Structure 1
Amino acid sequence: MTRIALLLLAALVTSGCVTTSSGSADDRRWINQCIRDNADEGASRRVVTAYCACMVNRMSSNETRSVTQWERVNPRARRECSREAGWT
């Protein structure tokens, strides 16, 4: 996903769910689940959405684990996406 797509996702956050034409329906489903999983982590919705989109982008299209499960075994991707999203 390009930076433009990430910015678009962040802009659409206020709608309550991610509904972009870029990315597959499966990607949007994973991103929305990740947003729900991280809702109580203290970051803004914009930051959480950018983080989740980054993580989904790094995951294989054949991945069956949730973002939450995948991030536990991929700490480098978690740190990089946190930094990119502004989640400090």
Structure 2
Amino acid sequence: MGGHVVEQILNKGMKVKALSRNPEKASLPAGVQVVAGDLDNPDTLQPHLGNIDSLFLITQSDQSDAKFLKNQKNVQMAKEANGKKL
């Protein structure tokens, strides 16, 4: 799923930074900056949140309430790191 979104964004001439728990296993198109991080560990996200204009978050549809709230916090952290609306 994420790979198709990445291709669409690249086709529009935009830069893409993709977060992956296992960057060495990520099979994404050339030109994508793949960085290591885990949505369950916010400390791994912080270094990658600066200088982004948009955030596309793909998660499980059957996630628990706790996981949903954690993802909301991750999005808020990205907003705060950029000082702009995402």
Q: Larger helix proportion, structure 1 or 2?
A: 1
TM-score normalized with structure 2 length:
0.26
State which structure, 1 or 2, has the greater radius of gyration over its C-alpha atoms: 2
TM-score normalized with structure 1 length:
0.26
Q: Larger strand proportion, structure 1 or 2?
A: 2
